[in-house]
C-alpha cells in the first residue's frame, strides 16, 4: 500500500512530496533527491500503526 507525504529539504528548505510504501514497515530510512535543488536527503519515515499517518524527518546525506 502506498501513500504520499511531504518533507522539507534539509538543504534548500523547499517542500517535497514523496511516495511512502506503508508495507515497508513502521520505520524506514532511505535517500531521495530534492525535487527543487536535486541534493540527496536522508528521509526518516515513521508510520503510525493505528492511523497509518506518516511523518518524515529529513537530514543531509552523510
| Sheet strand arrangement including 54-60 | 27-33, 40-47, 54-60
Question: How far apart are alpha carbons 37 and 25 in whole angstroms?
Answer: 28
User: Over pLDDT 70: what percentage of the chain?
Assistant: 98
Number of domains in the chain: 1
pLDDT in tens, the chain (62 residues): 789 999 999 999 999 999 999 999 999 999 999 999 999 999 999 999 999 999 999 999 76
Domain membership of residue 18 as a residue range: 2-60
58 is written with which cell numbers? 529529513
Residue 27 is predicted with a pLDDT of: 98
Amino acid at each position: 500500500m502506498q501513500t504520499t507525504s511531504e518533507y522539507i529539504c534539509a538543504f534548500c528548505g523547499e517542500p517535497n512530496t514523496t511516495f511512502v510504501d506503508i508495507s515497508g514497515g513502521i520505520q524506514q530510512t532511505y535517500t531521495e533527491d530534492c525535487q527543487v535543488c536535486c541534493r540527496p536527503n536522508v528521509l526518516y519515515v515513521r508510520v503510525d500503526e493505528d492511523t497509518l499517518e506518516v511523518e518524515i524527518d529529513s537530514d543531509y546525506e552523510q
